[in-house]
Amino acid sequence: MRSPFGTSARAVSLAAASAAAVILLAGAAGAEPAKVAVFDFQFAGGTPVAPTEEDRARLKRTSEEFRTLLKDSGRYALVSTEPVREDVGRTADLRACGGCADAFGRKLGADGIFVGEVQKVSNLILNMNVYYKPLREGAQEKAYSVDLRGNTDESFDRGIKYLVKNQLLER
């Protein structure tokens, strides 16, 4: 069917769909990445098996890998947590400090914060959790979790990559 302007209805529909797609892509491409503070992973309180130095080294590597994955995604701009490092060091558990992690994030000028923890049930069973809290009023915290089998470098590496790729960036 021809329109009164000499073009088919299908051509008009295709042109409208193309214009809408361009507008959506331009909006997504122009969106600023969220400024986030990413705190180092911690062991969850009440862990029945005490962490070893090897475990602490894994947490450090996992924290670094997590930051790299977030930055490389293009969705997040990381703000340095260095200015609050000493305050964070005096906090035993960022998940149970009465909102101290939120306060640290605000002090850093972040739009949101990431807090990661590992629950070590045994050397075979571990759980890696990441919590994202937008710092705007009334925003809900989001939680992401992956189970690990084996307390090894490989299980931690696979776990954080899976969590970011298949959970955090999927939403």
Query: Residue 118 maps to which CATH number?
Result: 3.40.50
Same domain, 25 and 36: no
Residue 42 belongs to what H/E stretch? strand 42-43
Same domain, 37 and 25: no
pLDDT, one tens digit per residue, over 67-122 is 999 999 999 999 999 999 999 988 878 988 888 999 999 999 999 999 999 999 88
Same domain, 19 and 83: no
Q: What is the CA radius of gyration of the chain?
A: 22
- Summarize the confidence of residues 28-34 as an average pLDDT: 75
Residue 135: what residue type? L
Tally of residues, the chain: 171
Q: What are phi and psi of 168, to 5 degrees?
A: -65, -45
Same domain, 26 and 50: no
Same domain, 64 and 19: no
Same domain, 8 and 37: no
Is 129 in contact with 116 (CB distance < 8 Å)? yes
Same domain, 52 and 19: no
* Tokens, residue 47: 């862990």
Residues whose CB is less than 8 angstroms from the CB of residue 54 and which lie 6 or more positions away in sequence, other chains included: none
Q: What are phi and psi of 20, to 5 degrees?
A: -65, -40
* 41 CB-side CA count, 13 A: 26
Query: pTM (2 decimals)?
Result: 0.79
Is 55 in contact with 120 (CB distance < 8 Å)? yes
Which of the four pLDDT bands, split at 50, 70 and 90, describes residue 8? low
* Tokens, residue 141: 């915290």
- Summarize the confidence of residues 36-64 as an average pLDDT: 91
- Collapsing DSSP to helix, strand or coil, 118 comes out as strand
Same domain, 26 and 45: no
* Tokens, residue 63: 């924290």
Same domain, 40 and 21: no
Same domain, 89 and 10: no
Instruction: Report pLDDT for 25.
Output: 44
Same domain, 38 and 58: yes
Same domain, 18 and 82: no
Range of the domain at 21: 1-31
Instruction: Report pLDDT for 98.
Output: 86
Count of domains forming the chain: 2
* Tokens, residue 122: 């045994």
